[in-house]
Amino acid sequence: MNLSPKLYNAIQANLQGLPYSPEKRELPPYPVESFPPVLRNVIKELHQNTQIPVALIGNVVLATTSLTCQSLIEVIQPHTNMPEPCSLYLMTIAESGEGKTTINKQVMKPCYTFAAELIQKYEQQVVDYKRKLNVWTIRKQALASNLRQAVKKGYSGENEEYEISKHAQNEPLRPPRPNFIYEDTSLKALVEGLSEHPEAGFISDEAITFFKSYLKNNPGLLNKAWDGEMFDFRRADGEIYHITPHLTFSLMSQPGVFMDYIKKHGVSARASGFLSRFLFTWVESSIGTRQTTHEKIDSEYELNAFHKRIEKLLELNGISLNAPNASKKQLTLTDETLTIWKNNRAEIEKKIAPHGEWEHIRDIGSKASANTLRIAALFHFFFDDSLEKISSVAVECAIHLMKWYLNQAGNIFYPMSERYQFEQDVRELHSWIMSRILKNDSFAILKNELEKSGPHRLRSTDKLTPVLNQLIFQGVFAVIQVPPGNALYVTIVQPNGGVNSPRGFPLYSPCKVIQSRENTRGRPYDVFLK
């Protein structure tokens, strides 16, 4: 049976516009309303004043909150009942000119000021340390001279040895260098720095420096820092460092730089678990659409309020530096919030299961519940640092925000997924079959033509079969057998369920449908063909 003119025209239109990549999914806007009031308001104000994309501002605000709070709190993981850090890893991908550097400096100003003050104080302490060390060294030399004189004179020197030993115990200690923010550093320098001050931030508005560094090839430290676990590092001179670092990671990258990194190192980075710990944001460019005004829009009231709260928390950081053994506040979930968190965790598990919406980001999804817990703890503590029980509002807001980040990761990594390649294969095979059938005046074509002349990637049974099965499963094609030769043909399935016969057979010749939508399994999702 030949195609109807209506169906023929529809197929022609389909062929002309057949996509070879999936249409970009429209995602909801960045969930600003999920942030607690002070954070929410500063994001809105900065966006209004600068026209910098909301998602970009939100990531910097989150990074600032994480950096400020990570040394003060930890959250009890419900499944292990063990504390874990509240540090976040954030990856922001945005075009040059979107305002990455500008907003980073503006939002994190108190953190950079705090870092500079720590170094200034450290340098003053070093001056005092060197003065004390000089005096101590002179005394050491004098005591050594006394011992030599005693031995020369034939005395045992026991008293002199005792004085030397006693003096050695009073050697001045070099003050630890409090590196609070790293922008570009080597693995060795980072380990040495974290051994002295184990809680810091790696903040870079030009992530190319990280992507080109040796540090990226050693995710062990970075993974341990996110996990809050001990990391052992042996220097070339044999010295061993045993550190338990906590890091806030905020990388900002241009799209080309990021994609180049993914192309070269994405497989190993995901296999190691490094990328799975990140919250990803691909910022939609606002260049060319930003509104300009010669008037000052606002007084930056909300930014000042945000900075005031950050400065208060940084004061607590300073106190903790002077009391290194001070314990962090441990935040826990109530029974109500635990139920909410567990239900969300179960929902994520369904979506990262085979054929689920997020199956291609299973590694990222597996860390999503932990990141949700951390965000909830940060929101709760930033809003009110007096309570140890995380509110249900904080958990629900964190869930909403985390869902947005998972959708972002889903979009970013989808073109690299097995599912994407499969869908591409389905579309390509669909186009090829339709083209052959239309050239054949809509008659069915021999099935073995697909293996002989079809798309090159699919010229083998193991690759062709699942792709063809998907098209059959979606009701686009069927495989029929026509006597007397019983050859197999691929034919179009018409809207009424009818099929087209091969060329040379009577219009209504009997045929046997070997594969149809009803008896052929495919993937449990439809591939978009229009």
- In whole angstroms, give the CA distance from residue 53 to residue 288: 12
329 and 270 together in one domain: yes
351 and 441 together in one domain: no
| Residue 368 burial (C-beta neighbours within 10 Å; 0-12, 13-18, 19+) | buried
| Residue 169 burial (C-beta neighbours within 10 Å; 0-12, 13-18, 19+) | exposed
For the stretch 401-452, pLDDT in tens is 999 999 999 999 999 899 999 999 999 999 999 999 999 999 999 999 998 9
Residue 276 sits in a domain whose CATH number is 3.40.50
353, pLDDT greater than 90: yes
- In whole angstroms, give the CA distance from residue 404 to residue 106: 25
396 and 502 together in one domain: no
164 domain residue, yes or no: no
393 and 428 together in one domain: no
Give me the torsion for CA of 368, 372, 373, 376, rounded to 10°. 170
259 and 333 together in one domain: yes
506, pLDDT greater than 80: no
- In whole angstroms, give the CA distance from residue 451 to residue 463: 10
| Residue 377 burial (C-beta neighbours within 10 Å; 0-12, 13-18, 19+) | buried
CB atoms within 10 A of CB 461: 10
* pTM to 2 decimal places: 0.86
126 domain residue, yes or no: no
382 and 488 together in one domain: no
- The domain total for the chain is 2
469 domain residue, yes or no: yes
Residue 477 sits in a domain whose CATH number is 1.10.10
For the stretch 101-145, pLDDT in tens is 999 999 999 999 999 999 999 999 999 999 999 999 999 999 999
Domain boundary among 416, 448, 472: 416
467 and 355 together in one domain: no
CB atoms within 10 A of CB 275: 24
- In whole angstroms, give the CA distance from residue 354 to residue 316: 46
204, pLDDT greater than 80: yes
Q: How far is CA 134 from CA 164, 167, 312, 327, 413, in A?
A: 16, 13, 38, 35, 58
399 and 379 together in one domain: yes
- In whole angstroms, give the CA distance from residue 367 to residue 88: 11
74 and 93 together in one domain: yes
pLDDT, averaged across the chain:
89
32 domain residue, yes or no: no
For the chain, what percent of residues have pLDDT higher than 90?
A: 69
285 domain residue, yes or no: yes
Whether 495 and 488 have beta carbons less than 8 Å apart is answered as no
210 domain residue, yes or no: yes
Domain boundary among 391, 416, 441: 416
> Of the given ranges (36-50, 179-193, 280-294, 329-343), which has the lowest mean pLDDT?
280-294
Domain boundary among 416, 446, 475: 416
159 domain residue, yes or no: no
86 domain residue, yes or no: yes
266 and 360 together in one domain: yes
DSSP per position, 162-192: HHHHHHHTTPPPPPP----EESS--HHHHHH
Mean pLDDT of 377-393: 95
194 and 209 together in one domain: yes
pLDDT grade for 524, boundaries at 50, 70 and 90:
confident
Collapsing DSSP to helix, strand or coil, 512 comes out as strand
The per-residue pLDDT for 265 is: 86
Tokens of 398: 């964190």
79 and 225 together in one domain: yes
The boundaries of the domain holding residue 192 are: 51-116+181-289+306-416
